[in-house]
Amino acid sequence: MTVISSTKSTETLSFTLVAEFDADVKRVWQIWEDPRQLERWWGPPTWPATFTKHEFTPGGEASYYMTGPEGEKAGGWWRITSIDAPNRLEFDDGFVDDNGAPVAAMGTTHATVELEDIGGRTRMTVRSMFESEEQMNKMLEMGMEDGMKEAAGQIDALLA
């Protein structure tokens, strides 16, 4: 099983997910570091992401857009707040308007990613803290359900 646990706190509006992968820490770090790999998993299958900028250094910024089934686009940004390669990454995650400018009013999510070696395999812990409800609303508008259904299918395929 890939996802080991997930914990949700309605009190602090945070979410923690622990997953384990059959790959070493350096390999799993690449899926965050390499934009061509990152864009293959960041968006739902029906809303694939394209990263147009990916400055993977402290203070660096990333920009991406996701393309929906009808060709509609939804853009987002990251601001890397801390990097300790290949074990730890922290970033803020928000949305952009049609011109690619950050939408301050949309709020941000702060994500902390930790990769830990477990005998050649990797345990990844992701913690997200929400700042406001708007960005969650936006996510919900991005055709997530299709993606979720496909995800369930992908998980089944992995376990088969």
Indicate the burial class of 160 (C-beta count within 10 angstroms; 0-12, 13-18, 19 or more).
exposed
* Contact between 41 and other proteins per CB under 8 A: yes
Q: Should residue 2 be labelled a site residue for other proteins when binding is judged by CB under 8 A?
A: yes
Cα separation, 91 vs 112, in Å, equals 7
CA 77 to centroid of chain Cα atoms:
11
Cβ closest to other proteins, residue 59 vs residue 151: 151
Residue whose C-alpha is closest to residue 17's, from 28, 6, 2, 26: 6
Number of residues binding to other proteins, judged by CB under 8 A: 49
Q: How far is the CB of 93 from other proteins (least distance, A)?
A: 12
User: What contacts 92, CB < 8 A, 6 or more positions away?
Assistant: 78, 79, 81, 108, 109, 110, 111
Least CB distance from residue 99 to other proteins, whole Å? Answer: 24
Q: Are 126 and 16 in contact (CB under 8 A)?
A: yes
81 lies in the binding site for other proteins (CB under 8 A):
no
Is residue 44 a contact residue for other proteins (CB under 8 A)? Answer: yes
The CA distance from 139 to 101, in Å, is 18
Residues 55-74: x/- map of binding to other proteins (CB under 8 A)?
Answer: --------------x-----
Residues near other proteins (CB under 8 A) are 2-3, 6, 8-13, 15, 17, 19, 21-23, 27-28, 31, 37, 40-42, 44-46, 69, 124, 126, 128, 130, 132-133, 136-137, 139-141, 143-151, 154-155, 158
